Amino acid sequence: MNLMYSCRRVAELLSQRLDEPLGIFDEMRLKLHLSMCGNCSHVADQIGAVHAASVDLLSNGFEHDEPLPPVPPR
Amino acid sequence: MAHTHGLHSSHGDPPALGPLPLAGPGDATVTASLEAQLPALRVRLIRHARYALHDDGLAEDLVQDTLMAVVEQHGKRRGESSLPTWATAILKNKVADWYRSPTRQRMVYFGTDDEHGDDAIDALYSPDGAYVEPVPAWQQPDNRTEQRQIMTVLERCVSCLPRQTGRVFMMREWLGFETSEICERLGVSAENCRTILHRARMSLRDCMQRDWIGKRASV
């Protein structure tokens, strides 16, 4: 068994972890990988930042003032 | 696309912003100031609803219902949140109810997105799944102006998500549906749902990197 996940797999787990708890082995291997991989640590921070900013943005509504794109006549 | 989704239909009616019922005696000033805010509020809410539904007519109908509720309930509301935040929460309930409505399945086409657009994510990795280029760290925003700019860029990035990806993302991050419920409501597998959410978040990360971090660094 390969003890290390690929960075690609780590990114998938980082997203999955926002929606459901990971199994204990996935969680351990994820943490091990993050402790040794700068790229994935940055991606972890960034996925977390995008998630937090999205939730914030969506609960408060979109507020910038660009006009709406045209809608077809009804 | 025709909508007959059982809610108050606004077809043929003037756009919601005509004379509005007064909230009650003594509230004339409050009501007048509410009325003045409704057009801008409507634009915000429609924008929001479109990202979650990807259906303009349906978005307008649900926003119309929301504005009716805003006008009716405004006098009773406690002033803890801003008007847009409060109205967005009402809209959220209406959109969630719509997704949960047993009659809506046949109203809107729920297709899958084509694979176009996933290339940017695939291009991040080598065949063995490592990052091809070093991933730069993001800096914290310096101040409120930057914070607002981030939100503007993020909204633009959300608006660029493909239809089904955008729906799934909004159901999860805005409506707060569990992934199991998203699967059920949209008829996609758990694995598919996971993949869509992951691709949505990576697309947003990529979009933010390009349109915010990249531009900020070059200033």
DSSP B29-50: HHHHHHHHHHHHHHHHHHHHHH
State the average pLDDT over residues B108-132.
77
The ipTM assigned to this model is 0.82
In chain A, the residue whose alpha carbon lies closest to the alpha carbon of B40 is: A65
In this predicted structure, the answer to whether residue A73 has a pLDDT above a threshold of 70 is: no
Among B106, B127, B142, give the residue marking a domain's end. B106
- Does residue B160 share a domain with residue B89? no
Which two tokens mark B163? Answer: 């239809």
Question: Total domain count for chain A?
Answer: 1
Pick A10 or B144 by higher pLDDT: A10
The DSSP code for B125 is: B
**Range of B125's domain?**
119-218
Contact B46 A51 (CB under 8 A): no
For B101-140, where are the alpha helices, taking DSSP H only?
A: 119-122
- Does residue B203 share a domain with residue B138? yes
pLDDT in tens, B170-211: 999 999 999 999 988 888 889 999 999 999 999 999 999 888
Is residue A23 a part of any domain in this protein? yes
Question: Total domain count for chain B?
Answer: 2
- Does residue B196 share a domain with residue B123? yes
Q: Do residues B82 and B57 lie in contact, with contact meaning Cβ atoms separated by under 8 Å?
A: no
- Does residue B124 share a domain with residue B93? no
Is residue A66 a part of any domain in this protein? no
**Range of A46's domain?**
7-57
- Does residue B83 share a domain with residue B135? no
Sign of the CA dihedral A58, A10, B135, A43? Answer: positive
In this predicted structure, the answer to whether residue B30 has a pLDDT above a threshold of 70 is: no
Contact A64 B152 (CB under 8 A): yes
- Does residue B137 share a domain with residue B88? no
Q: Do residues A19 and B193 lie in contact, with contact meaning Cβ atoms separated by under 8 Å?
A: no
* Interacting residues of B67 by C-beta distance below 8 A, sequence separation 6+: B16, B17, B38, B41, B42, B45, B87
Type and span of the H or E element at A22: none
Test mutation, A14, A58, A64, chain B, max B CBs within 10 A: A58
For chain A, where are the alpha helices, taking DSSP H only?
A: 7-16, 24-36, 38-60
In this predicted structure, the answer to whether residue B29 has a pLDDT above a threshold of 70 is: no
Q: Do residues A62 and A56 lie in contact, with contact meaning Cβ atoms separated by under 8 Å?
A: no
Give the CATH number of the domain where residue B69 resides: 1.10.1740
